[in-house]
Structure 1
Amino acid sequence: MADLITIDDPDDPDDPRLSDYAGLTDVELRRKREPAEGLFIAEGEKVIRRARHAGYEMRSMLLSAKWLDVMRDVIDEVPAPVYAVSPDLAERVTGYHVHRGALASMQRKPLPTAEDLLGTSSRVAVFEDIVDHANLGAAFRNAAALGIDAILLSPRCADPLYRRSVKVSMGAVFQVPWTRLESWPKDVELLRSAGFTTAAFCLSEQSITLDELVERRHERLALIFGTEGDGLTPEALMAADEHVRIPMGAGVDSLNVAAASAVAFYATRVRST
């Protein structure tokens, strides 16, 4: 059972026991601190439960009074401390209004190797330099819903376990196995050696349509998406086996990366026979 600790000093938002939750709105700080310290923040009852269900160890919870009963079963099951605070103190510690009322600091797990993920997958997504946490979280949710077995991230991609990514994904970042590549786009060779056809989504002159890609019925397929705005780098495009476009109408030339990934995941999903 967790220790339930009430912290009610309104003048002490710097209480060291709450340090995991300090400055959650400071993106630069958290982007560096959380991976270095091996932690991430789960926000909201559903996300906290999904993180626990996925096997992440809890470091602590930060709850306002009205969430104590809702989270009672979790409090009774985990050994980590639970800090009960007022909404005002929670806001001053985190830097924003914690309207969901429940936060948990979770311990990260070691990432699998790309080779391990590829060995058990037939559909994977590769994201190059996606820096928007909301887009990345939405893409993970798409992947969980639409049959993607694993996700590979380029070294400069945003952190899927950053609070906003986790929140937007509704915990899907805990469902889809993922890892970070070390040498992109050279790591396309890892995909190729594992039997994957690599399909880069872009507007190049030699691109085929998504429908044409589907018709080729590739057994193992890796779908590659580029960063917001600029798209895939020339090096990634050169390394890919296929260039693929989603046909557009009404004068629209492209979709947001999260929307494009949903379309591509659905179209190329493995269909039961």
Structure 2
Amino acid sequence: MELGVSIATVAYRWMASLFATPSFVGSLLTAGVTVAGFYYANRQIRNASLQIEQAAERHNEEMTWRRSEFVRKLLSDMANDEKVSLIYRVLDWRDGPALIPKDLQIFFEEDKSGNHHSSKILNIEWSVFVESISVIKNDGWTDPIPYTYRTCFDSFLSFIQQTVTDLRSAKIDEIMYADLTFYCHRIINPLNNLRKPDEIASEKFKDYIVEYYNDETYNYILRCSKYYQGVFIDNDVSLDRASAVISDDMESAPSFESK
């Protein structure tokens, strides 16, 4: 018992003398400050990292919104463009009445042939439309109707080419142009007025686009057509034929990434 008390007494005195030493107390205080400093610094780093992540998320959200607004405006401009609207109607309906764009009505008003009963409405004729989209202009291309078809088709393709530029420069996903894919599908897999596949029209469209625009524009139309084929159901064209057409053309057309 006395031995235990002695040991405790000695230990107590040793601890007391140790704490009475200024250098030891300073070491303890320094260690405490160092631990607290590390804790504070680590907490600040974590807070800064969280702020950076949040800022990156906000930036990505803002960029996504900006891109979607850009795409929405372009698609809206296309839908409101009278020339593009005519091509939409031709590719979709293939016959029936269509409004003549206002700035082209003068050609119908000035025409003295008597072949046109209205300067504001034309009756879509699929065969005439296809014939007007030729690389080499035929003799009657200056007639108001072929001239209107050709002019409007150029307006449509100009918008398409703009989307290709957007994809390359602004890193916009082509899927964002989903509303446009139906009409691209009709370029690759056109139907005639009997709702039958028109391979002659498909070849004419391809030759015209490659000749007067470029392979990249045609390749983009192929991609949009493939997207439409994969996401939507098109009862007018068999899936097997659409796949075959796209597969054949994709082998000859340069890839989008290579441009």
TM-score normalised over the length of structure 2: 0.24
Kindly indicate whether structure 1 or structure 2 has the higher relative contact order, using CA contacts under 8 Å at least 6 residues apart.
Answer: 1
Give 1 or 2: higher strand fraction: 1
TM-score normalised over the length of structure 1: 0.23
